[in-house]
C-alpha cells in the first residue's frame, strides 16, 4: 500500500498540523511515513502545503510530485495542484472556499462543505479534520482509531473540548 497525499490551503487552516496528524497516525498504524511541509513567506494567510506519504514499504523520498490524493482547502490550491494529481487520483475539495470546478475528468472528485460542517460542529478551525476524515473514508491510508488516538500527541496543549470537537469533525468527515 502506498498513499502519497498533498494538502494545500492558506496559512491558518491547519494544513501543516493535519499533515503531522496524518503522518503520526500512519506511524501508530505501523506504516512507513514521510512528512514534508512548505510555507509561503507570509505564514498566516499565506500559502501552505505539505506532502505526506503513508506506505507499507519503506519510502524513498518525502517529495510527492504526483499525489494519489489531493486535499485543497482554497481556490489557489486547486489551480496549483490539480494538474499534478495522478490519473484516477482522489481530489477532496473544500467547497466552502473553492467555487471552481476541476478541469480534469480522469480523477475522482469529492466536494465537502468543510467550513460549514466545521462551524456546525463547533468551530471553523476543525475544517481540516473534516477533510482528513474524508481522506480516511476513501483511502483507508490510516485508521480512524489511530488518528483519534494521536490527537493528544499532536495537540498536547489542546483543551479537552477542542480535542472532542476535532474527534467529532474526523467522524463527520468519514461520511463524505
Give the chain's domains with CATH numbers: 2-173 (3.40.920.10)
Q: In this structure, what C-alpha cell is assigned to residue 71?
A: 486535499
So what's the pLDDT on residue 140? 98
Within 10 Å of residue 59's Cβ, how many Cβ atoms?
Answer: 15
Q: How far is CA 15 from CA 18, 38, 39, 104, 133, in A?
A: 5, 10, 10, 24, 14
Alpha helices (H) in the chain, listed in sequence order:
15-28, 75-81, 114-121, 127-139, 144-154, 160-173
Residue 1's pLDDT is 96
Provide the percentage of residues in the chain whose pLDDT is more than 90.
91
In this prediction, residue 42 carries a pLDDT of 55
Q: Looking at residues 99-123, what average pLDDT do you find?
A: 97
Name the phi and psi angles at 142, rounded to 5: -135, 165
pLDDT of res. 11 = 87
Q: Beta strands 2-10 and 69-72: pairing type?
A: parallel
pTM: 0.95
The band of 89, judged by pLDDT with boundaries at 50, 70 and 90, is very high
Residues 89, 69 contacting (CB under 8 angstroms)? yes
Q: Residues 93-97: what's their mean pLDDT?
A: 98
Amino acid at each position: 500500500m502506498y498513499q502519497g497525499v498533498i494538502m494545500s490551503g492558506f496559512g491558518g487552516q491547519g494544513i501543516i498540523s493535519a499533515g503531522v496528524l496524518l503522518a503520526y497516525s500512519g506511524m501508530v498504524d505501523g506504516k512507513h511515513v514521510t512528512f514534508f511541509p512548505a510555507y509561503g513567506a507570509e505564514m498566516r494567510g499565506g500559502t501552505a502545503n505539505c506532502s505526506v506519504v503513508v506506505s507499507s514499504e519503506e519510502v524513498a523520498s518525502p517529495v510527492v510530485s504526483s499525489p494519489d490524493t489531493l486535499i485543497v482547502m482554497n481556490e489557489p490550491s486547486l489551480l496549483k495542484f490539480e494538474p499534478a494529481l495522478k490519473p484516477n487520483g482522489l481530489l477532496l475539495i473544500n467547497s466552502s472556499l473553492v467555487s471552481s470546478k476541476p478541469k480534469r475528468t480522469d480523477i475522482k472528485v469529492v466536494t465537502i462543505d468543510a467550513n460549514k460542517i466545521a462551524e456546525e460542529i463547533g468551530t471553523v478551525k476543525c475544517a481540516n479534520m473534516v477533510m482528513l476524515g474524508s481522506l480516511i473514508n476513501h483511502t483507508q491510508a490510516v485508521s480512524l482509531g489511530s488518528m483519534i488516538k494521536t490527537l493528544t500527541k499532536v495537540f498536547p496543549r489542546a483543551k479537552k473540548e477542542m480535542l472532542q470537537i476535532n474527534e467529532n469533525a474526523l467522524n463527520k468527515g468519514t461520511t463524505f
